[in-house]
Amino acid sequence: MTSYAPVAGEEGGWKHLKSLLLLGASRLIPMRDPYEEACEKINARARELSS
């Protein structure tokens, strides 16, 4: 049977290094959170409609 899940290390060292750098940078640089932004827009719209 063919495996559909990626094997660790199969994607190459550069992708792994990039993900580690982004993980470390996320503590220093605020990363964009699309879910939180969407919730804020929905809440603002609900407040606007309820007023």
pLDDT at site 8: 59
What's the full length of the chain, in residues? 51
Using alpha carbons, select from 7, 27, 4, 3 the residue that is nearest to residue 15: 7
- Residue 33: inside a domain: yes
**CB–CB of 16/24 below 8 Å?**
no
Q: pLDDT at residue 6 above 70?
A: no
pLDDT at site 32: 75
pLDDT at site 11: 64
Q: What is the pLDDT of residues 10-50, one digit of tens each?
A: 667 788 888 888 888 777 777 777 888 899 999 999 999 99
- How many domains, the chain? 1
- Residue 1: inside a domain: no
| Structural domain range at position 45 | 13-50
Using alpha carbons, select from 5, 23, 4, 3 the residue that is nearest to residue 15: 23
Q: How confident is the model at residue 3 (pLDDT cuts 50, 70, 90)?
A: low
- Residue 3: inside a domain: no
Enumerate the H helices of the chain as residue ranges.
13-25, 34-50
pTM to 2 decimals? 0.41
Q: One-letter amino acid identity for 38?
A: A
